[in-house]
Amino acid sequence: MNTRIKSCIALILLIVIGIGGSQTFAKPAVGNIVYLPIVRKSAVVRIDDAYVFHGKGYWFVAGIITNLSDRTVYDVNLTASLFSNDQLVEVITGTTGLPATFPGSSNLFKIFPPDDLLSEGISVHVEAKSWSFEHDPEYLPLTILSKNFSGGPDIGHLDGEIRNDHAIPVTSIEIMVYPDVDFFIYATPDKTFLAPGEESAYTTWLYFPGFPEGESFTVWAQGAVAK
């Protein structure tokens, strides 16, 4: 058996061994070419729900995301593809209702279509295109102490208390309440600055019938680290 045939057999055996062995590598190393391992990017932001939501005289794409990572994510760039009869008619973009989505926690979003686009027959597909782990200022979650509902069934009032359980003060407090006739609504805190351990009341009006108790609502609160 000549040298050329021996080389061919050795090459074939090398390829067979590479295919039948570990699947970590895209291809076996041949000559001076080195192939790096295939690295599959794990999901960070998951779209838990997305649908067409009808508000007070208009509609939008609404839904919920969850942060699957162990770090806070910011600036989530969401893209909603709108289809009619399986044909793409519009692509719209938006972001979350609150700036930060904390590890293992959720956040809501609204993405508004062009004014002249009717919702009839529209289906939607939403993707998280990008996000950031860095933000200035950093945001921290605040503790929801209470939720108290009064009024209804057509209009109601929600109030309660929040607390800063962190060792540093926070400011620029944002509070989001779900559900509402507009999917979610923002509540107003009495204080815009909370020292460590400090509490603040919050309040908002709600336009969503059939929720007689405060526990029927979900409240998110967060604040920026004060500098």
Model pTM score: 0.78
Given a cut of 70, is residue 16 above it in pLDDT?
no
Predicted pLDDT of residue 151: 81
The better pLDDT of the pair 15, 108 is held by 108
Q: What is the CATH number of domain 45-132?
A: 2.60.40
Pick the range with the lowest mean pLDDT from 39-48, 68-77, 90-99, 184-193. Answer: 39-48
List all residues 6 or more positions away from 164 whose beta carbon is below 8 Å from its beta carbon: 140, 142, 143, 170, 194, 195, 196, 197, 198, 199, 223
Could you tell me if 181 and 54 are in contact, meaning their C-beta atoms sit under 8 angstroms apart? Answer: no
**Hey, where are the domains in the chain?**
1-40, 45-132, 139-225
**Amino acid letter at 218?**
T
H/E run at residue 10: helix 3-20
Distances (CA, A) of 24 to 6, 33, 42: 28, 16, 16
CATH pick for 139-225 out of 3.20.20, 2.60.40, 3.30.70, 2.40.50: 2.60.40
**pLDDT of 97 above 60:** yes
